Amino acid sequence: MKSKINFLAVLAIFSLFFSCTEKTNENTTATATNIKANTLEIEQLLDSLNVAAANADLEKYFSYYTETATYNGTDATENWTKETFMAWAKPYFDKKTTWNFKSEKRNIYFGKHEDIAWFEELLSTQMKICRGSGVIVKQDGKWKIQQYVLSMTIPNTQLDKVVALKTAEEDSLLKSFTK
């Protein structure tokens, strides 16, 4: 009798172990599948954003941003809400003198929650190589940009020259930050 109870206990433990292992594998596979699909959607979003800018399509371009999005441009003073960025950009879109960025290398990352992602990419632009980076969130089943940061890259061998060029202007800006 005791051996039957031991056998049933061992059988129950094995059943529990294998059912948990199987479920974990299913969840892992589903997560990997979701990440692949989400990565593809985000790549399409970022490529479409660049095409909309190149085509000077203001409405389409800004439809890829959340209503509370922020944009940080290459100038230290360019820290804009979606509304202020749109007001700044509108004359360029109206005159069809927008920018034409092409992603050369892109990385997309996901954290614990699959509805938030972040990216960084190297862009070919009229300013030569720039870095675009930001945060993307899923709202109502669609990926949207919550924050976008555009940075110019500077080769390390050219840093001293660039710092010399921007020192006077940025020193006065830095003084305005202190209170």
Note the pLDDT tens digit of each residue in 85-144: 999 999 999 999 999 999 999 999 998 888 999 999 999 999 999 999 999 999 999 999
pLDDT of residue 112: 86
Burial of 19 (0-12, 13-18, 19+ CB in 10 A): exposed
Q: Report the C-alpha gap between 4 and 154 in whole angstroms.
A: 74
CA atoms within 13 A on the CB side of 137: 11
Partners of 149 in beta bridges: 72, 133
Q: How confident is the model at residue 6 (pLDDT cuts 50, 70, 90)?
A: low
pLDDT of residue 29: 47
What are the residue ranges of helices labelled H in 55-158? 58-63, 82-94
Give SS3 for 140: coil
**Domain topology for 2-173:** Nuclear Transport Factor 2; Chain: A, (3.10.450)
More confident residue, 29 or 115: 115
More confident residue, 13 or 178: 178
Average pLDDT over residues 20-47: 74
Average pLDDT over residues 143-154: 99
Of 5-14, 29-38, 70-79, 121-130, the least confident = 5-14
pLDDT of residue 5: 57
CB neighbours of 65 closer than 8 A, spacing ≥ 6?
71, 82, 144, 145, 146, 148
pLDDT of residue 3: 62
More confident residue, 30 or 174: 174
What is the average pLDDT score of the chain?
89
Average pLDDT over residues 42-52: 99
Q: Which of 101, 100, 77 is nearest to 88 (CA)?
A: 77
The domain ranges of the chain are 2-173
108 contacts 120 by C-beta, under 8 angstroms: no
